[in-house]
């Protein structure tokens, strides 16, 4: 491993731990020989959570597979910002076909590798929440049901950001988007029943499902690495804040991703064959307001007359998650 | 080997002889027997080194094929009708990416009204998607065209649709010559992809292309099809050398040398047309026919040459361009530049309506007397249509017209 002299500094979060670890325990990104699968120079916005998540996820998959990864990308921000030619940022074999078929294309690549006896080559499909929970849902469910040897990664920024911030089925209640305007009696996105893709993936009984966050990058790497030890259909759902779509400062991407976890709105867990096997405990529980307030998409909740009942409704969701996934340490 | 077999099964056997590596299947009538046959061969271990994948939709079927082909596997699927429309986005995508997938279309009507029987509306809807489209006249040709299709697709790095009339061909049993593995191996070399997802040589496939290059990429697709105009006859000639029979090519003429009237059609109806032409020839009429096998690329030069001395052109179409008439005849207009003739479009056989010898004979006789309208709907029940038009005139809420016509034809005046 190539070593780099680094200075110790306090980042205000748990990331400091990485610098104090033995070299072989450090993160993939701390390694100078990391693959930079999604290389620098792409056109993502400042503070893009998706670019960060994809970089960590794919590099971790590369390390876990001895650099034998083929990626199939859905249409969306990740595809667009990474590939204007001749400046492709992908250092790995990569294909983009359509918005709604990444999982099926990956099935095809996996079938080709199987028939050619290339068990060493691992297939990843990836897309945003629109490409995963909406238009690509049929193909994704088919891939799960057949238990095809594909790791599907959803980078969830909770709306169609590439087309200008329209609502998806992953958009949270009350959020303002270009198609759920902050006007009228019930401003923002309606309170539907939601579409929890990790739970739907678990309902298929696939061998591995996990949620991850760009605020917990070691955890994200560990989950990708774990997924790569498993054969069959696997699903990782990563929350990736979008400064543009969420109306947040680019420097708040990590902070918001962490607050989503600490409020209980985005639980971090792993599941195998449909059963939750672990969840990340919340160290410092925070009210949902702390997460919502810095985001302009929720600004209408905090006007002259705060939307008390709406906030209470969102808090209920967070509280339910905390109970459901056992997100708080038990203090007897 | 000669054997009595179903068209679909013969196609399945020929596809299997092409050593496909990935086959994706989703059921839709009337192509289902083909993939069932292939699935059985894979499951029984008769077709080795092949992954048979049952997918959840036609959109997924072609998407899986796209992934497999991009990863360097020889890939096959089949569909029809609504299935082809459901995969439409992927149809364009496969061609745009230049992936040599071979797909059978068991030609079937498009709803509504839902109809499982034969016409060409499905494949015609995808004529400009960038695929090569070959139309089989007989089951022997349908089987043979698949072997040529893989060769053609892979030489050009372009997908090929083999269009086979649903039921009329797919479900018909007749005596067919199924080639040997040695013959097919001699004709079809292993797949050497022009582009492939390879961890040793990483490439990005399917990148965003802006106005600075999009025209050139699209032009290249057209250029490839122009090359196919030369390649298709060559592959057909080579096929003859290896297999000893004529199959494929751009088009096939019948008694057309001195013909003043030329009938043009695609697919199985050419058999009936030839029978009628024989009768009329016996009676001294100068009539001949041309079966278009390659609709994309369109054999413009050959058709121009054929039609340059004709007085009449009768196009028999199994599809309807609603609001204008014919699709094939519309395409033929492009080759008529500088040729002066009477051109008649005949829409026939929609939704499986039988195209009989008697109807064709009467039609051609009228054409020979130049009594045909520019656009004719063969064997249209005009009286039933008129009664529905009357109902619509009589009351605003006249109800769904398909159901009204059915009730009318059943004799019920409810």
Say whether both B353 and B397 belong to one domain.
Answer: no
Q: To which residue do tokens 């071979």 refer?
A: B102
pLDDT of residue A86: 79
Contacts of A144 by beta carbon, 8 Å cutoff, 6+ apart: A201, A204, A206, A233, A235
Structural domains of chain B, count: 3
pLDDT of residue A2: 66
Decide: B174 and B139 in contact? Cβ < 8 Å: yes
Asked if residue B382 is part of any domain, the answer here is no
Asked if residue A199 is part of any domain, the answer here is yes
Asked if residue A314 is part of any domain, the answer here is yes
Peptide bond into B112 cis (omega under 30): yes
- Could you tell me which of B135, B150, B124, B112 has the C-alpha nearest to residue B23? B150
Picking from B211, B243, B275, the residue at the C-terminal end of a domain is B243
Peptide bond into A86 cis (omega under 30): yes
Residues A152, A238, A150, CA angle at the centre, nearest 5°?
10
Decide: A90 and A83 in contact? Cβ < 8 Å: yes
**A247, two tokens:** 């109306």
Distance separating the N- and C-terminal Cα atoms of chain A: 45
Average pLDDT, rounded, for chain B: 97
B-chain residues near A145 (CB < 8 A): 56
CB–CB contact A93 B198 (8 Å): yes
Has residue A18 got a pLDDT over 80?
no
- Best of B20, B26, B64 to disrupt the A interface (most A CBs within 10 Å) is B64
pLDDT of residue A30: 80
Residues forming a β-bridge with A155: A128, A238
Average pLDDT, rounded, for chain A: 93
Residues B2, B8, B9, CA angle at the centre, nearest 5°?
50
b/e map of B152-172 (b: 16 or more CB within 10 Å)? Answer: bbbbbebbbbbbbbbbbbbbb
Residues forming a β-bridge with B205: A95
SS3 (DSSP) at A229: coil
Structural domains of chain A, count: 1
Say whether both B316 and B190 belong to one domain.
Answer: no
Say whether both B207 and B338 belong to one domain.
Answer: no
Picking from B188, B209, B243, the residue at the C-terminal end of a domain is B243
Per-residue pLDDT tens for A57-89? 999 999 999 999 999 999 999 999 999 877 899
- Give the minimum alpha-carbon distance from B189 to chain A in angstroms, rounded to a whole number: 17
Sheet containing strand B132-135, edge to edge, reads B51-54, B22-25, B75-79, B102-107, B160-165, B132-135, B294-296
Per-residue pLDDT tens for B107-154? 999 999 999 999 999 999 999 999 999 999 999 999 999 999 999 999
Residue A22: pLDDT band (50, 70, 90) is: confident
Asked if residue A224 is part of any domain, the answer here is yes
Q: Does B370 touch chain A (CB under 8 A)?
A: no
Say whether both B394 and B260 belong to one domain.
Answer: no
CB–CB contact A113 B64 (8 Å): no
Asked if residue B70 is part of any domain, the answer here is yes
Say whether both B340 and B406 belong to one domain.
Answer: no
Picking from B220, B243, B266, the residue at the C-terminal end of a domain is B243
Say whether both B33 and B178 belong to one domain.
Answer: yes
CA distance B350 to B344: 17
Asked if residue A22 is part of any domain, the answer here is no
A-chain residues near B201 (CB < 8 A): 93
Has residue A278 got a pLDDT over 80?
yes
Residue B369: pLDDT band (50, 70, 90) is: very high
pLDDT of residue A27: 81
Closest A-chain CA to B196:
A93
Asked if residue A232 is part of any domain, the answer here is yes
pLDDT of residue A24: 72
Decide: A59 and A28 in contact? Cβ < 8 Å: yes
Give the mean pLDDT of B228-243: 98
Q: Which of B67, B201, B203 sits opposite A104 (nearest CB)?
A: B67
Say whether both B187 and B264 belong to one domain.
Answer: no
Q: Which of B69, B199, B203 sits opposite A67 (nearest CB)?
A: B199
Asked if residue A26 is part of any domain, the answer here is no
**B118, two tokens:** 């034969």
b/e map of A113-127 (b: 16 or more CB within 10 Å)? Answer: bbbeebeebbbbbbb
pLDDT of residue B250: 98
Q: Does B25 touch chain A (CB under 8 A)?
A: no
- Best of B23, B55, B63, B211 to disrupt the A interface (most A CBs within 10 Å) is B63
**B292, two tokens:** 């278009």
pLDDT of residue A6: 54
Query: ipTM of the assembly?
Result: 0.96
Peptide bond into B30 cis (omega under 30): yes
Asked if residue A27 is part of any domain, the answer here is no
Say whether both B174 and B195 belong to one domain.
Answer: yes
Q: Which of A84, A97, A108 sits opposite B71 (nearest CB)?
A: A108
CA distance A276 to A264: 16
Residue A3: pLDDT band (50, 70, 90) is: low
Asked if residue A19 is part of any domain, the answer here is no
Say whether both B325 and B408 belong to one domain.
Answer: no
pLDDT of residue A12: 47
Q: Which of B57, B63, B199 sits opposite A70 (nearest CB)?
A: B199
Please give the backbone phi and psi of residue A205, each rounded to the nearest 5 degrees, phi first: 70, 20
CB–CB contact A108 B24 (8 Å): yes
Asked if residue B91 is part of any domain, the answer here is yes
Has residue A15 got a pLDDT over 70?
no
Say whether both B229 and B337 belong to one domain.
Answer: no
- Residue numbers of B between 211 and 240 with CB closer than 8 Å to A: 213
Has residue A325 got a pLDDT over 80?
yes
Say whether both B17 and B43 belong to one domain.
Answer: yes
pLDDT of residue A23: 73
SS3 for chain B is CEEEEEHHHHHHHHHHHCCCCEEEECCCCCCHHHHHHHHHHHHCCCCCCCEEEECCCHHHHHHHHHHHHHCCCCEEEEECHHHHHHCHHHHHHHHHCCCCCEEEEEECCCCCCCCCCCCCHHHHHCCCCCCEEEECCCHHHHHHHHHHHHHHHHHHCCCEEEEEECCCCCCCEEEEECCCHHHHHHHCCCCCCCCCCCCCCCCEECCCCCCCCHHHHHHHHHHHHHHHHHHHHHHHHHHHHHHCCCCCCCEEEECCCCCCEEEEECCCHHHHHHHHHHHHHHCCCCEEEEEECEEECCCHHHHHHHHCCCCEEEEEECCCECCCECCHHHHHHCCCCCCCCEEEEEECCHHHCCCCHHHHHHHHHHHHCCCCCCEEECCCCHHHHHHHHHHHHHCCCCCCHHHHHHHHHCCCCC
SS3 (DSSP) at B269: helix
Say whether both B237 and B255 belong to one domain.
Answer: no
Per-residue pLDDT tens for A85-99? 778 999 999 999 999
- Give the minimum alpha-carbon distance from B255 to chain A in angstroms, rounded to a whole number: 47
- For the beta carbon of residue B383, count every other beta carbon within 10 angstroms: 9
Helix (H) or strand (E) holding B186, with range, is helix B181-187
pLDDT of residue B84: 98
Give the mean pLDDT of B169-173: 98
B23: domain CATH number is 3.40.50.970
Has residue B262 got a pLDDT over 60?
yes
Residues of A contacting chain B (CB within 8 angstroms): 67-70, 72-73, 79-80, 83-85, 88, 90-98, 100-101, 104-116, 121, 138-139, 141-142, 145-146
CB-defined contacts A:B, below 8 A? 154
Range of the domain at A285: 34-325
pLDDT of residue A331: 56
Q: Which of A106, A115, A121 sits opposite B51 (nearest CB)?
A: A115
Asked if residue B396 is part of any domain, the answer here is yes
Range of the domain at B59: 2-243
Q: Which of A113, A138, A145 sits opposite B57 (nearest CB)?
A: A138
Instruction: Say what percent of chain B tops pLDDT 90.
Output: 99
Q: Is residue B35 classed exposed, middle or buried when 0-12, 13-18 and 19+ CB atoms within 10 A define those classes?
A: buried
Has residue A318 got a pLDDT over 60?
yes
A172: domain CATH number is 3.40.50.970
- For the beta carbon of residue B314, count every other beta carbon within 10 angstroms: 26
Per-residue pLDDT tens for A186-239? 999 999 988 999 999 999 999 999 999 999 998 999 999 999 999 999 999 999
DSSP H helical segments within B289-379, as ranges? 300-307, 328-333, 357-368
- Give the minimum alpha-carbon distance from A72 to chain B in angstroms, rounded to a whole number: 8
């Amino acid at each position: 491993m190539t070593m780099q002299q680094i200075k110790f500094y306090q980042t205000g979060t748990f990331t400091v731990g990485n610098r104090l670890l033995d070299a072989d325990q450090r993160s993939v990104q701390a390694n100078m020989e990391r693959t930079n699968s999604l290389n620098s120079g792409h056109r993502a916005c400042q503070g893009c959570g998706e670019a960060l998540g994809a970089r960590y996820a794919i590099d971790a998959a590369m390390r876990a597979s001895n650099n034998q990864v083929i990626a199939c990308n859905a249409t969306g921000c990740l595809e667009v910002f990474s590939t204007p030619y001749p400046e492709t940022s992908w250092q790995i074999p990569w294909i983009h076909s359509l918005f709604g078929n990444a999982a099926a294309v990956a099935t095809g690549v996996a079938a080709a590798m199987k028939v050619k006896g290339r068990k060493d080559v691992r297939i990843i499909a990836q897309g945003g929440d629109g490409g995963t929970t909406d238009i690509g849902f049929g193909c994704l469910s088919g891939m799960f049901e057949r238990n095809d040897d594909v790791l599907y990664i959803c980078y969830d920024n909770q709306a169609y950001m590439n087309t200008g911030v329209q609502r998806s089925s992953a958009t949270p209640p009350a959020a303002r988007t270009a198609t759920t305007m902050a006007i009228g009696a019930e401003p923002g996105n309606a309170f539907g029943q939601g579409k929890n893709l990790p739970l739907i993936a678990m309902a298929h009984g696939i061998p591995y499902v996990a949620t991850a966050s760009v605020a917990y990058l070691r955890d994200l790497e560990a989950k990708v690495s774990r997924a790569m030890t498993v054969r069959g259909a696997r699903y990782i759902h990563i929350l990736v804040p979008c400064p543009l779509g969420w109306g947040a400062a680019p420097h708040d991407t990590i902070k918001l991703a962490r607050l989503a976890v600490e409020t209980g709105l985005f639980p971090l867990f792993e599941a195998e064959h449909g059963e939750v096997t672990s969840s990340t405990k919340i160290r410092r529980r925070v009210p949902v307001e702390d997460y919502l307030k810095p985001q302009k998409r929720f600004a209408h909740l905090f006007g002259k007359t705060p939307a008390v009942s709406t906030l209470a409704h969102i808090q209920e969701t967070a509280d339910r998650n905390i109970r459901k996934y056992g997100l708080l340490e038990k203090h007897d | 080997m000669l054997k009595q077999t179903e068209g679909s099964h013969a196609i399945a056997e020929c596809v299997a002889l092409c050593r496909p590596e990935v086959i994706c299947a989703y059921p839709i009538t009337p192509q289902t027997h083909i993939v069932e046959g292939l699935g059985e061969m894979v499951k029984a271990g008769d077709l080795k080194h092949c992954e048979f994948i049952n997918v959840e939709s036609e959109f997924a079927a072609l998407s899986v094929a796209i992934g497999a082909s991009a990863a360097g596997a020889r890939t096959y699927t089949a569909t029809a009708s609504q299935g082809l429309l459901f995969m439409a986005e992927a149809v364009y995508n496969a061609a745009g990416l230049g992936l040599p997938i071979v797909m059978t279309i068991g030609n079937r009507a498009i709803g509504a009204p839902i109809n499982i029987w034969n016409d060409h509306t499905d494949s015609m809807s995808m004529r400009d998607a960038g695929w090569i489209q070959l139309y089989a006249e007989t089951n022997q040709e349908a089987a043979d065209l698949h072997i040529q299709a893989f060769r053609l697709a892979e030489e050009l790095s372009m997908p090929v649709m083999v269009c086979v009339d649903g039921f009329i061909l797919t479900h018909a049993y007749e005596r067919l010559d199924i080639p040997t593995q040695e013959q097919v191996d001699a004709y079809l070399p292993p797949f050497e992809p022009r582009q492939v997802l390879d961890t040793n040589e990483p490439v990005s496939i399917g990148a965003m292309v802006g106005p600075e290059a999009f025209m050139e990429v699209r032009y290249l697709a057209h250029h490839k099809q122009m090359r196919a105009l030369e390649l298709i006859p060559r592959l057909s000639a080579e096929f003859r050398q290896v297999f000893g029979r004529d199959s494929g090519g751009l088009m096939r003429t019948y008694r057309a040398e001195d013909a003043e009237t030329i009938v043009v059609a695609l697919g199985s109806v050419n058999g009936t047309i030839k029978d009628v032409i024989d009768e009329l020839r016996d009676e001294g009429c100068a009539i001949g026919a041309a079966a278009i096998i390659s609709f994309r690329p369109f054999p413009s030069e050959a058709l121009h040459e054929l039609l340059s001395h004709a007085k009449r052109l009768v196009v028999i179409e199994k599809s309807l361009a609603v609001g204008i008439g014919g699709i094939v005849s519309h395409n033929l207009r492009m080759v008529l530049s500088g040729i002066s003739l009477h051109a008649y479009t005949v829409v026939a056989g929609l939704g499986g309506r039988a195209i009989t010898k008697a109807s064709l004979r009467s039609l051609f006789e009228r054409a020979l007397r130049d009594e045909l309208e520019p656009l004719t709907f063969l064997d249209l029940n005009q009286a039933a249509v008129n009664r529905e038009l009357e109902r619509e005139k009589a009351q605003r809420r006249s109800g769904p017209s398909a159901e009204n016509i059915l009730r009318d034809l059943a004799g019920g005046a409810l």
